[in-house]
Amino acid sequence: MNKKNLASFKKILIQKKTEFLNKTINIQRGISTDLVDTNVGDEIDTASQNSEKEMYFELAANDKITLSAINDALAKIEKGVYGQCECCNNIIPVERLRAISWTRYCIKCQEEAENPKRKKMITLLLSQTFFKNFRLWLESILLFIIIFFIGFLFKKYVAKFIQSMLAKTGFVLDSRIIVVSSSYISFWFFLIALYVALLKAPVNVVNIVVHKFFCGVFAFSVVVLVASVVSRFFRKLVHEKIGSNIIKFSITFFGLILILNQAGIKLTPILTTLGIGTVSLAFALKDTLANFLAGINILASKQISMDDYIRLDSGQEGTVIEVNWRTTLIRELSNAVITIPNSKVLSSVVTSFQFKKAEVTASVSCGVAYGSDLECVEKIAKLAAQEMIDKCGDSVKTYVPVVLFKDFADSSINFTLFFRVKNIYAKAFMQSEVLKNLYKKLDEEKIEIPLPQRVVTINKE
């Protein structure tokens, strides 16, 4: 306690001491006067005077106790221990000292000293409350375990039974909904069990707040489930991951907005903050946004689709295996995967070998010596290609091989043999097989495939 408060309490104590001393003196003077003027013969007056005398003596005794307590308080001020409870040694609150400056005990010790039965009653009430709360806690825990166990059994048996029944009836979409929602069943039963347990438990919570919270969490989980089902269905139809991700995010976002609106949360500040934050992020993540928008453009144009074999002007080529929100993944024939930013794919010259059609034209170039019968060479080349087409399953059997003679080279007449295969992956194999068979046929017919040579004529003159 600071010196200012000590001086103030000391002044109050001295003033009270003076008042009690003056009061005691006045009472003693009044008693002396009444004793002198008492009419002993009057019994009624005597009884009345005796009662007043007893009250005076009692007040005098109380004043002595009060004066003693005031003197003790003044002595404590001098010793520097004023304001400390004599029972528990705790500091007495200033408000109590202002009410009774000479008090020796704090409120707690004073009540225990004046009413010991009350302490016993409080102890009994606390014990009864403890046992009652313990019983309620035990019931809430048992309810939580029972409901959660019911959810476990429902997921393990009932959900699987419903899924098998829908699969037998051919409702593929309904079966997929059960498959996706099975992962949420445990969470839903956990929410229900926790909600019922909290309502049963002896906790000081507002039921309306708890109800809104659990309803909001449950509704949000349903929104996420719907977003997952719709995005999976879209992915099954379109085979594009970025589109399904956009649909999932959009449904989740608008569902969250509706839930917050129903909960009574003002959305105007949130939307304003999101708008300002979106503009800032647009400048900070412009490259990422460019790739994201390029990915949407690629998917919307449908010029590049999954499993298409493409070649970029930079030289990379392979099969498109995924177009996500930032990059396009291409698998080469060597099984290596190339990651290319969507913006680079969009700005590149792309050669698609399977644009809306999987068949690919393959070719084998060759040259024969001057003087060869070109009609015979053409028939042999077509026969060599047709034999391989009939033998290999990856060739297009309805396509007739074509031979086109190109130019007169230094040592040979060059031609190209064209045929068609079902996909880009069979192209190299078919080219190899046709080339081997063509060489064999030309060798059997004694048609020369000349080596590069140059004839030099020397004039002796």
CA pair distance 316, 329, nearest whole angstrom: 11
* The pair of three-digit structure tokens given for residue 59, joined into one six-digit string: 């007040």
CA pair distance 355, 361, nearest whole angstrom: 13
Q: In this structure, what is the dihedral angle of CA atoms 241, 246, 252, 256, given to the nearest 10 degrees?
A: 160
**C-beta atoms surrounding 240 within 10 Å:** 21
Rg for the chain (alpha carbons), in Å?
Answer: 51
CA pair distance 318, 338, nearest whole angstrom: 8
Judge if pTM exceeds 0.85. Answer: no
CA pair distance 76, 86, nearest whole angstrom: 11
- Cα-flanking dihedrals φ and ψ of residue 123, to 5°? -60, -40
Q: How many residues does the chain have?
A: 461
Helices marked H in 80-115: 94-99, 107-114
Give 157's contacts (C-beta < 8 A, 6+ positions apart): none
CA pair distance 147, 187, nearest whole angstrom: 12
**C-beta atoms surrounding 6 within 10 Å:** 16
CA pair distance 212, 206, nearest whole angstrom: 10
Ordered per-residue pLDDT tens for the chain, 461 residues:
666 677 777 777 777 777 766 766 665 555 444 444 444 444 444 444 444 444 444 445 566 677 777 777 777 777 777 777 766 777 777 777 777 777 776 777 766 655 655 555 556 555 656 666 777 788 888 988 898 888 888 877 777 777 677 666 655 455 555 556 667 788 888 888 888 888 777 765 556 777 778 888 888 888 888 888 777 777 666 656 666 777 787 888 888 888 877 777 776 776 677 666 666 666 666 677 777 778 777 777 777 877 788 888 888 888 888 887 788 888 887 888 988 888 888 888 888 876 556 688 899 999 999 989 999 999 999 999 999 998 888 888 888 999 999 999 888 999 999 999 988 888 888 999 999 999 999 999 899 888 877 767 777 66
Tell me the DSSP string of 371-423.
Answer: T--HHHHHHHHHHHHHHHHHH-TTB-TTSPPEEEEEEE-SS-EEEEEEEEESS
The helix/strand/coil state of 420 is: strand
Across the strands, what pairs with 362? 419
Helices marked H in 302-364: 342-347
The helix/strand/coil state of 331 is: strand
Place of tokens 């140059």: 454
* Predicted pLDDT of residue 354: 66
Each residue of 369-420: pLDDT tens digit? 998 999 999 999 999 999 999 888 888 888 899 999 999 988 899 999 999 9
